[in-house]
Amino acid sequence: MIIVLNAQVSTSGVTEIRPWIALGLLAFLLLWETVSPFFHFPKGRERVRHGFRNVLLGILNAVVTTLIFVGLWWSAAAWAESRSFGLLHWLSLPAWYAWPLAILLFDAWTYYWHRINHRIPFLWRFHRVHHSDPHMDVTTANRFHTGEIVMSSILRVPLIVLLGASIEQLALYELLMFAVVQFHHANISVSEKWDRALRLFIVTPYMHKVHHSRWQPETDSNYSSLLSIWDRLFRSFRINEKPETIRLGLDEFDRPADQTIPGLLRTPLANRKANRPRKP
Ligand SMILES: [Zn+2]
């Protein structure tokens, strides 16, 4: 869930159009949420404050990623390319197969990384910043602790080398994932029929609402980010037939001070006992 607003690499057209696609999609989904919200949502100043905090975290993460990691990823891809190292080089498939395979492999890693963020207590300390939002909307897609972004960015260096992926393949994966992640976080009303059809392929709003539930068996499900296949394949897929009954957020981080920027940045340090209801 890393958003690179202005990557240092200009070798790919994808990289140049990404900020515009991101802003256009954000504006479109904000409008959709306003016209046809799924959950009741705070209005006026409170909505602006909520969105501003989440987007500010996203901008901080984008700056850190762009300044520190994009160059490292580019070097890792160039190193693998110069030595024909990594799975995609060893397979030497035509581009028609290699690109979809690169997208699949990146997405499988994102699924695994997300899943261990829920399983390993140290990683959960950071990831709970994303889950503690009691009012999920499109801006929640940007709400990640910088520590989580730094850890996942570091792990991408060996991942790029082992996969033998190019920086253009990574840029395309990020663009697709970013678009779907914004879509499934948005507080929009999508018809059950459409959601059901779309979730055969991608993660949808109904599917991801379950992941943001306060009830732990639901929180610990639906880890996929772009393609929904991983949850089906690894038996973490879960649907709540009454999504309107889902309560979003984390009980242990409901205090107003927890929802401020300093509160969000301090969340990994907090020792709070999870006080989650046993039943929805
Ligand atoms: Zn999660």
| Tens-digit pLDDT string for the chain (280 aa) | 444 434 444 445 556 677 788 888 989 999 999 998 998 877 788 889 999 999 999 999 999 999 999 999 999 999 999 999 999 999 988 888 999 999 999 999 999 999 999 999 999 999 999 999 999 999 999 999 999 999 999 999 999 999 999 989 999 999 999 999 999 999 998 899 999 999 999 999 999 999 999 999 999 999 999 999 999 999 999 999 999 999 999 999 999 999 999 999 999 998 877 655 444 3
Q: Tokens 């897929």 identify what position?
A: 237
- On whether residue 275 sits in a domain, the answer given is no
Q: Which residue has the tokens 């602006």?
A: 48
Contact 142, 130 (CB under 8 A): no
Confirm whether 3 is domain-assigned.
no
Separation of 3 CA from ligand 1 center, angstroms? 17
Counting the structural domains of the chain, the total is 1
Domain membership flag for residue 1: no
Distance (Å) from CA 12 to ligand 1 centroid: 30
Question: Quick check: is 26 in a domain?
Answer: yes
Inside any domain, residue 65: yes
In a domain, 64, yes or no: yes
191: containing domain: 13-269
Q: How far is the CA of 74 from the centre of ligand 1 (A)?
A: 28
For residue 61, the CA-to-ligand 1 centroid distance in Å is 17
Distance 7 CA to ligand 1 centre (A): 26
Residue 96 C-alpha to ligand 1 middle, in angstroms?
A: 32
The pTM for the full model equals: 0.89
- Give the Å distance between the CA of 78 and the centre of ligand 1: 32
